[in-house]
């Protein structure tokens, strides 16, 4: 059996080479079910994992960590679960924003968050404004995010610019498309992790994942920790990224 090198958690230097890691945080419900607990218990444990992994990402020198917290399709869940998730999110921002700010983190939200409850929108915008001038890593939370919705919005935005005479249709290139995405000012995506054994993107960062490395682990999100992130970055370091070249 191949022996796996132990991940090095002591070095702050980012020798893994990844700037931007995105995580599809999946498996909260199954984690709870295994313990005969209600799904909300899994989501609560999932918030603890967010705290752990956000700290680890800073320690490991990532420039940006994007976390898929609520998809544009998650509205299909029972209203009580949606309410629980929104409540946890509200509590998370309220309780953790001081620590993020003290650590120089820039908090960002990607997705159509404006459709959430107005008081939550105000909380999100306050947190983003407060931390916008920080110089540390970006923690981006994907909320009411759907990549297909993002691409539709991008098309509409560029069509409006053409209609207004700001640019010509033939001037639209990669930079214009990327500038019209939620992720416009985030670094290019290097690594996409999905927990819980599922191997699909579930409408997450379809454009951005074009040349990202994909990493799937059976670990359920509430069990994910610094060691698990280090293992993913170790695997990433060994990948041969060719971008279509040789
Ligand atoms: C991920 O865990 C959290 C969200 C999608 C909000 P799930 O709630 O999808 O957990 P499973 O997939 O049912 O185990
Ligand atoms: C993806 O997980 C969305 C988030 C992690 C927020 P889901 O649990 O919603 O994905 P599917 O339904 O299994 O594809
Ligand atoms: Mg799931």
Q: How many other C-beta atoms are found inside a 10 Å radius of the C-beta of residue 47?
A: 20
List pLDDT tens digits, range 4-47: 444 444 444 578 999 999 999 999 999 999 999 999 999 999 99
Judge whether 116 lies within some domain. Answer: yes
Which atom of ligand 2 approaches the CA of 25 most closely? 5
Nearest to 103 by CA among 139, 57, 65, 136: 136
198 CA closest ligand 2 atom index: 13
Question: pLDDT of 87-98, one tens digit each?
Answer: 999 999 999 999
Q: Determine the atom of ligand 2 nearest the C-alpha atom of 26.
A: 5
181 dihedral zone (left: phi>0; alpha: psi -120 to 50; beta): beta
Q: Residue 14: what pLDDT?
A: 76
User: What is the distance in A from the centroid of ligand 3 to the CA of 167?
Assistant: 41
For ligand 1, atom 3, which residue shows the shortest CA distance?
26
Phi, psi torsion values for 67, nearest 5 degrees: -115, 125
Domain housing 156: 20-237
Q: Does residue 244 lie in a domain region?
A: no
Q: Is the CB of 71 under 6 A from ligand 2?
A: yes
Ligand 2 contact via 143 beta carbon (within 6 Å) = no
DSSP bridge partners of 142: 68, 110
Question: At 194, is the secondary structure helix, strand, or coil?
Answer: strand
Ligand 2: atom nearest CA of 202 is 14
Would residue 3 count as lying in a domain?
Answer: no
Question: Catalytic residues, which ones?
Answer: 26, 74
Q: Calculate how far, in angstroms, residue 205's C-alpha sits from the geometric centre of ligand 2.
A: 13
Q: How far is the CA of 14 from the centre of ligand 2 (A)?
A: 29
Residue 5 located in a structural domain: no
1 in a domain, yes or no?
Answer: no
Nearest to 43 by CA among 88, 107, 79: 88
Q: What is the pLDDT of residues 128-184, one digit of tens each?
A: 999 999 999 999 999 999 999 999 999 999 999 999 999 999 999 999 999 999 999
β 64-71/106-110 pair status: unpaired
For residue range 191-210, what is the model confidence (pLDDT) as tens digits? 999 999 999 999 999 999 99
For residue 198, the ligand closest to its alpha carbon is 2
Nearest C-alpha neighbor of 25 from the set 208, 187, 243, 232: 232
- What is the distance between the alpha carbons of residues 220 and 195, in angstroms, rounded to a whole number? 6
Give how many domains the chain has, as a whole number: 1
Whether this prediction's pTM lies above 0.85 is answered by yes
Q: Is residue 54 part of a domain?
A: yes
Other C-beta atoms lying within 10 Å of the C-beta of residue 228: 20
What are the residues whose beta carbons fall under 8 Å from the beta carbon of 204, sequence distance 6 or more? Answer: 22, 24, 68, 71, 142, 145, 147, 192
Name which residue sits closest to atom 1 of ligand 1, judged by CA: 26
**CATH code (residue 233):** 3.40.1180.10
Tell me the pLDDT of the chain averaged across its residues: 95
User: Ligand 2 centre from 231 Cα, in Å?
Assistant: 22
Please indicate, yes or no, if residue 2 is contained in any of the structural domains.
no
pLDDT at residue 13 in the model: 52
The C-alpha atoms of residue 18 and residue 189 are separated, in whole angstroms, by 8
Write out residues with Cβ below 6 Å of ligand 1: 25-30, 70, 74, 85, 196, 221
pLDDT in tens, 199-246: 999 999 999 999 999 999 999 999 999 999 999 999 999 999 999 999
For residues 210 and 220, what is the distance between their CA atoms, to the nearest angstrom?
25
Does the pLDDT at position 52 exceed 70? Answer: yes
Cα–Cα distance for residue pair 224/246, rounded to 1 Å: 35
Whether 29 is covered by a domain: the verdict is yes
Q: Count CB neighbours of 162 within 10 A.
A: 15
Indicate the helix (H) or strand (E) that contains 230.
helix 226-237
């Amino acid at each position: 059996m191949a022996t796996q090198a132990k991940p090095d958690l002591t070095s702050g230097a980012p020798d893994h080479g990844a700037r931007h890691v995105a995580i599809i945080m999946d498996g909260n419900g199954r984690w709870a079910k295994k313990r005969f607990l209600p799904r909300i218990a899994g989501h609560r444990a999932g918030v603890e994992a967010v705290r752990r992994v956000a700290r680890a990402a800073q320690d490991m020198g990532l420039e940006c960590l994007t976390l898929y917290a609520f998809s544009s399709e998650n509205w299909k869940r029972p209203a009580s679960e949606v309410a629980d998730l929104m409540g946890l999110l509200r509590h998370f921002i309220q309780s953790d924003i001081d620590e993020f700010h003290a650590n120089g983190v820039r908090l960002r939200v990607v997705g159509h968050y404006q459709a959430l409850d107005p008081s939550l929108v105000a909380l999100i915008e306050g947190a983003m404004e407060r931390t916008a001038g920080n110089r540390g890593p970006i923690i981006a939370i994907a909320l009411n995010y759907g990549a297909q919705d993002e691409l539709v919005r991008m098309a509409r935005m560029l069509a409006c610019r053409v209609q207004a005479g700001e640019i010509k249709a033939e001037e639209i290139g990669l930079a214009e498309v990327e500038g019209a995405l939620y992720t416009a000012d985030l670094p290019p995506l290097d690594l996409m992790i999905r927990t819980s054994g599922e191997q699909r993107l579930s409408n997450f960062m379809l454009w951005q994942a074009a040349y990202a490395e994909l990493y799937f682990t059976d670990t359920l999100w509430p069990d994910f920790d610094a060691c698990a992130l280090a293992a993913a970055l170790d695997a990433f370091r060994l990948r041969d990224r060719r971008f279509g070249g040789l």
